[in-house]
Amino acid sequence: MDKPTVHSLTWTVTDDMTAKRIGSAGAQILSTPNMVALMEACALELAKAYLEEGTTTVGAEIHCRHLAPTPVGMKVTATATLRSLEGRKMWFDIEVNDEKGKCGEGSHLRIVVKPKNLTEKAHAKPQQ
């Protein structure tokens, strides 16, 4: 069976996901950080099809453009396409659409890691 190269994920915008909630512009619209979270979650789900047992991915880079507002109650869908797989690096192109059309786009880099190694690196950092 071939591995998928495209995955979509849909969320419904809630009050907790709004720009007003994070203190930006006071608007009851999908915040950019929440759009980014949707994009990242979508790419993560697609990445899972490529992982060996005992590995996961972490987000390393994201570029996005938030093109149009999406109100509370509307569905918003991210569609991630795997652009390239280079060793441990997985590059995705992502488009975001709400019920009225395109509202965001971007690219995202995920790195394949072993959770144990990631935890060890984090704990090796000096605490203040």
Structural domain includes residue 101: yes
- pTM: predicted TM-score of the whole model, two decimal places: 0.91
Domain count, the chain: 1
Interval 70-109: pLDDT, tens: 999 999 999 999 999 999 999 999 999 999 999 999 999 9
Active site residues: 32, 40, 66
Provide the edge-to-edge strand list for the sheet that holds 101-113: 6-12, 75-86, 89-98, 101-113, 56-66
Task: Give CA–CA dist 32/89, Å, rounded.
Answer: 25
30 within some domain: yes
- Residue at 18 is within a domain: yes
Q: CA–CA separation, 106 vs 20, rounded Å? A: 23
Check residue 128 and give its pLDDT: 73
CATH at residue 30 = 3.10.129.10
Please indicate, yes or no, if residue 1 is contained in any of the structural domains.
Answer: no
Q: Among 52, 67, 62, which Cα is nearest to 98's?
A: 67
Q: What range does the domain containing 78 cover?
A: 6-123
